[in-house]
Amino acid sequence: MHKNTPIILFLIVFSFLIYSYRMGSIGLTDPDETFYAQTAKEMLQGHNFLTPVMFGYPQFEKPILFYWLLIFSFKLFGITEWAARLFPALFGALGVVFTFLLGKLMFTRKVGLYAALILATGFLYLSLSRIVLTDVVLTVFILLSMIFFYLGHTKNKTNSYILAYLFTGLAVLTKGPIGIIIPFSVFSLFFIIQKEGALWRRFLLCWQGWLLFFVVTLPWYGFISLKFGKGFLYSFFFHENVQRYFITAEHRSNNTWYFYPAVIFLGLFPWSNLLPFMFSRKKWSLSHPKLFLHIWFWFTLLFFSFAQSKLISYILPLFPALCLLFAKALVDVESDSKAKKKFSPAFLSSILLTLVFLGAFGVSLFWIKEKFPGLFPVSLGIELVLAIAISCSPFLLSGKKVKEAVIVNVASVSIVMILIFGYLMPQLEGAFSDKLLLSQIPEDKSVKKEILGSKMFVRGVHYYTNRPVVVIADDKQPFYTPHPLNVLSTDAEIKKFFLSKEDIVCVVEESDLRRINRLTQGKRENSVVYKNRDRVVITSKPLP
């Protein structure tokens, strides 16, 4: 048995367990999980494996590879929540292992192990490995591209360069141009800073790599371009990529300079309060591997920071680089014989961040107890576990007990995962998922009656009920990517809809319910049959 095999097996088992724990017991959440699952479901049921479809019409938000993974899982295990989340969890576990291997290649086995555990248990990577999104799959393909590029560069292996092209192609087939923009920009900047123009030309002129890249990407992109022409080219390349980056902020409140720094800081929790130890050494050195990781981290951060449309998940591809740099700093602290044990600037800064987190925990507990008293006991347990862990870790690091700090944080995350998905999420499920609608919505087997839904809920309603949906919204184009749905945006349209129907089922936000009640007052009886947070199910009948 190879000496790395036990570590690899441990990382695979541990990470897959925390990513898959009760992943099939919670309904798919709105609006993104149900978007991908519904697309794969319609493709599978229609025996259509090349054109993504939503509500019976082609949609081009993402390329085909992620849908193929979902379809394959649905074919093997049925159309279930567990099957939908299987590949994100598997890729999440693989990303942890590949981070370990890259850390071992660049530094030492200990750095690789620490980096893998930090990545595995950091809040953002852990969360995205449990939900149906493309970002973890994209991140793993980019990570593999980085690994084989670095291996080819340091070992002078052309075959490794070729594999870097292969995984870049798979990244492009997962999420589009970003799959090549990130890795090839990092490679190019690395060559330029290293003043290795000849090697750069050699890499870019690797015809075997380009051949493999186009073998992976060209068949589907070529097929879909020929079949849909300008419709696909405009919708995918301009609307989904150029417009989102340069023109339109999908979520305007996110479009700030500090959005992604905040995401990185909070996304690394419960390790965030230890970040000051990354800067604790007096002497700085930018070694060959550190330079590569810094370019990877900073280019990805700056590239997405300049984008108009910012979402939390977009920044995920920089986390392996960040975790490797973080782990290397922790190992340096552990081995630095001159490091001060206590009251260093790093230690004091870490304590200050810890106090900020503890204060936030206290405020959140008061708020939960007042607003949602039923959630208070399990929330108290979760925050106590995390509070103990983040309070201990700065003192452990100040005493160079890095291994113990890592164990404490990993153990705390494992306990918290059991509490969240064993006790907290079952109580919150109805606020985020339409799964419970199956038992709440009156079934009409003779007629597929429409269900009126707020824009956040209609994908999930359609996924779980298989009934047609009508959207209530404030404007005629409520979705960033248009869907072929009947949208009721004006008061006149809403009145006409309700006056022309007998029994109507609605799954709406409270604001939309108030609007419906105002417009149908004295004409309809609107009865609330289910409510969980902002999600309300009502039945509407004409008054006698």
pLDDT tens for 168-181 read 999 999 999 999 99
Q: Is the pLDDT of residue 286 over 70?
A: no
Q: Is the pLDDT of residue 88 over 90?
A: yes
Q: Is the pLDDT of residue 447 over 90?
A: no
Q: What is the pLDDT of residue 281?
A: 63
How far does the chain reach from its first CA to its final CA, in angstroms? 78
Rg of the Cα atoms in the chain: 25
Count of CA atoms in the C-beta half-sphere (13 A) of 197 = 0
Contact at 8 Å (CB) between 271 and 326?
A: yes
Phi, psi torsion values for 400, nearest 5 degrees: 65, 20
Contact at 8 Å (CB) between 70 and 84?
A: yes
Architecture of domain 437-542: 2-Layer Sandwich (3.30)
Give residue 285's pLDDT band: very low, low, confident or very high (50, 70, 90).
low
Write down the residue that tokens 């099939």 correspond to. 24
Q: Is the pLDDT of residue 71 over 50?
A: yes
For residues 230, 233, 239, 241, the Cα torsion angle rounded to the nearest 10 degrees is -170
* CA pair distance 24, 339, nearest whole angstrom: 47
Q: Is 522 exposed, middle or buried (0-12, 13-18, 19+ CB in 10 A)?
A: exposed
3-state secondary structure of 317: helix
* CA pair distance 67, 73, nearest whole angstrom: 10
For residue range 371-394, what is the model confidence (pLDDT) as tens digits? 889 899 999 999 999 999 999 999
Write down the residue that tokens 């604790």 correspond to. 280
* pLDDT over 70, % of the chain: 96
Contact at 8 Å (CB) between 55 and 43?
A: no
For residue range 109-164, what is the model confidence (pLDDT) as tens digits? 999 999 999 999 999 999 999 999 999 999 999 999 999 999 999 888 889 999 99
Q: What is the pLDDT of residue 502?
A: 86
Q: What is the pLDDT of residue 296?
A: 97
3-state secondary structure of 50: coil
Q: Is 508 exposed, middle or buried (0-12, 13-18, 19+ CB in 10 A)?
A: buried
Q: Is 198 exposed, middle or buried (0-12, 13-18, 19+ CB in 10 A)?
A: exposed
Give residue 400's pLDDT band: very low, low, confident or very high (50, 70, 90).
confident
Count of CA atoms in the C-beta half-sphere (13 A) of 378 = 17
Q: Is the pLDDT of residue 261 over 60?
A: yes
Q: What is the pLDDT of residue 1?
A: 54
Contact at 8 Å (CB) between 38 and 466?
A: no
* CA pair distance 304, 355, nearest whole angstrom: 30
Instruction: Name 262's Cβ contacts closer than 8 Å, sequence gap at least 6.
Output: none
Q: Is the pLDDT of residue 446 over 50?
A: no
Contact at 8 Å (CB) between 379 and 366?
A: no
Contact at 8 Å (CB) between 383 and 412?
A: no
Q: For the ranges 167-176, 297-306, 390-399, which has the lowest average pLDDT? A: 390-399
In 345-500, alpha helices (H): 345-371, 376-398, 402-419, 425-432, 437-440, 458-465, 491-499
For residue range 469-507, what is the model confidence (pLDDT) as tens digits? 999 998 888 887 788 899 999 999 999 999 888 889 999
Distance of CA 166 to the CA centre of its chain: 23
* CA pair distance 91, 175, nearest whole angstrom: 15
Q: Is 440 exposed, middle or buried (0-12, 13-18, 19+ CB in 10 A)?
A: middle
Q: Is the pLDDT of residue 343 over 90?
A: no
DSSP state of 468: -
* CA pair distance 164, 144, nearest whole angstrom: 7
Instruction: Name 379's Cβ contacts closer than 8 Å, sequence gap at least 6.
Output: 364, 365, 368, 424
β-pair partners for 57: 54
Q: What is the pLDDT of residue 4?
A: 85
Q: What is the pLDDT of residue 531?
A: 86
* pLDDT over 90, % of the chain: 74
Phi, psi torsion values for 540, nearest 5 degrees: -120, 130
H helix or E strand, kind and range, residue 214? helix 207-228
Q: What is the pLDDT of residue 299?
A: 97
Q: What is the DSSP string of 108-136?
A: -HHHHHHHHHHHHHSHHHHHHTTSS-SHH
CA dihedral over 132, 135, 140, 144, signed as positive or negative: positive
Angle among Cα 171, 173, 174 to the nearest 5 degrees reads: 65
For residue range 91-101, what is the model confidence (pLDDT) as tens digits? 999 999 999 99
More confident residue, 400 or 118: 118
User: Residues 35-44: what's their mean pLDDT?
Assistant: 97
Mean pLDDT of the chain: 92
Q: Is 405 exposed, middle or buried (0-12, 13-18, 19+ CB in 10 A)?
A: buried
Q: What is the pLDDT of residue 255?
A: 86
Q: What is the pLDDT of residue 418?
A: 94
Q: What is the pLDDT of residue 456?
A: 92
Give residue 34's pLDDT band: very low, low, confident or very high (50, 70, 90).
very high
Angle among Cα 338, 344, 347 to the nearest 5 degrees reads: 115
For residue range 243-255, what is the model confidence (pLDDT) as tens digits? 888 888 777 888 8
Q: What is the pLDDT of residue 311?
A: 93
Contact at 8 Å (CB) between 54 and 127?
A: no
User: Residues 188-199: what's their mean pLDDT?
Assistant: 91
Q: For the ranges 97-101, 256-260, 284-288, 527-531, which has the lowest average pLDDT? A: 284-288
User: Residues 306-320: what's their mean pLDDT?
Assistant: 95
* CA pair distance 228, 237, nearest whole angstrom: 13
